Amino acid sequence: MTAAEPDYCDIAIVGGGLAGGLAALALAAKRPALDVRLVEPGAIGGNHIWSFFDSDIAKRDRWLVAPLVRHHWDSYDVAFPARERRVRMGYKSITGEALAEAVAAALPPGRIIADKAKHVAPDHVLLARGGRLSAKHVIDARGVGKLAMLDCGWQKFVGQALTVEGGHGIDRPLVMDATVEQMDGYRFVYLLPFDAETVFVEDTYYSDTPDLDVAAVRDRIATYAARRQWNVTAVTREETGVLPVVVAGAFDRLWPAIDRTARIGVRAGVFHAMTGYSLPDAVRTAAALPALIDRGDLGVRLRSRAAGSWRRQRFYRMLGALLFRAADPGERYRIFQRFYGLAPGLIARFYAGRSNTADKLRILSGKPPVSVRRAIAALAKLDWK
């Protein structure tokens, strides 16, 4: 805390990642009279690139992310051993740097507290460097918490921005290149062309373990670049990540009802169970916060929203169980290869977490890419409801 800022505020957001940063922006825009503080020991937004399909975000909420978009394409490609396809669907990327700049501009000086929270309660935060910040509401947005109570697979990756002398020749995202050697589960390479000579290359795995050998994956990115005959002259950024792909588990164990501290984002269990992505839900929650923030039972309301989201994710947890428990690791790509033969609208609704009944039947119909016997056995063993 500084001498200019009291140790009490209206809203204290703990965690300056995607969910916390978007929440701060929404409150600053819609409830500017509130004293909102953001507690984050590192850089707001961190070293991240988040991408999303246009259909992931409702038109009424796009005002929140539109200023953060740094790259936009009107379509994207996928490639598998037995299928290549271009999908006519808008695709956008935002960066941690863009989020940090927007939050710094939106919050008055002194409202960003560069410290770590050592204890978080519904009405106060104890700071690691000493001091207590009291608030009408504390919102916990610190990202992944303890997941031992959940059954998870993992999506893990290393991404690098490469400078390619003479150009890389990619004009739109290649969101899944699964023609690469399959290892450590389902492997694909993800490409984002930022400009003619800069391409972001992410080597991604749907794996049974969260272990990530960064050095080995760097070597695979270099091999991939060589395969494309790129003359790489620089690596200008690198990021890594390990995202949970929830197969089974009870929401009450993730967020016990006795815990009245408000939560948002991954901390609240609000993310796509099959992909691990949290941006669409983070936007929806942030956009709803200004209308909820005056309620004395904010924590209860946000927990109810999160529990509802968890229930709606049941279908995606079932798909995760089929992917990780019924498919041989080296054959998992076949599930995605088949999926990308389906209708664009179905694909869009899937990624937005809004699959309808017809979509679910279509995804599960036809010749299954996994053993029916193993699928039944996998679902019978897990509490995937």
Inform me whether the pLDDT recorded for 343 exceeds 60: yes
Model pLDDT, residue 379: 58
pLDDT digit string, tens, across residues 50-104: 999 999 999 999 999 999 999 999 999 999 999 999 999 999 999 999 999 999 9
Q: Above pLDDT 70, what percent of the chain? A: 94
Q: What is the mean pLDDT of residues 254-266?
A: 95
**Cβ neighbours for 316, distance < 8 A, ≥ 6 positions apart:** 272, 273, 274, 353, 355
Query: For residue 43, with 0-12 CB atoms within 10 Å meaning exposed, 13-18 middle and 19 or more buried, which class applies?
Result: middle
Query: For residue 373, with 0-12 CB atoms within 10 Å meaning exposed, 13-18 middle and 19 or more buried, which class applies?
Result: exposed
Model pLDDT, residue 112: 96
Q: What one-letter code names the amino acid at 70?
A: R
pLDDT digit string, tens, across residues 89-105: 999 999 999 999 999 99
Distance CA 72, CA 321 (A): 33
Q: What is the mean pLDDT of residues 236-240?
A: 96
Residue 381 — very low, low, confident or very high, per pLDDT cuts 50/70/90?
low
Inform me whether the pLDDT recorded for 368 exceeds 60: no
Distance CA 359, CA 363 (A): 6
Model pLDDT, residue 365: 84
Model pLDDT, residue 307: 96
Distance CA 312, CA 43 (A): 33
What are the angstrom distances between the C-alpha of 378 and each of 31, 331, 357, 384? 48, 16, 22, 10
Neighbours of 361 (CB within 10 A): 10
Model pLDDT, residue 137: 97
Model pLDDT, residue 326: 85
In a 13 Å sphere around the CA of 36, the CA atoms on its Cβ side amount to 28
Length of the chain in terms of residues written: 385
**Averaged confidence pLDDT in the chain:** 92
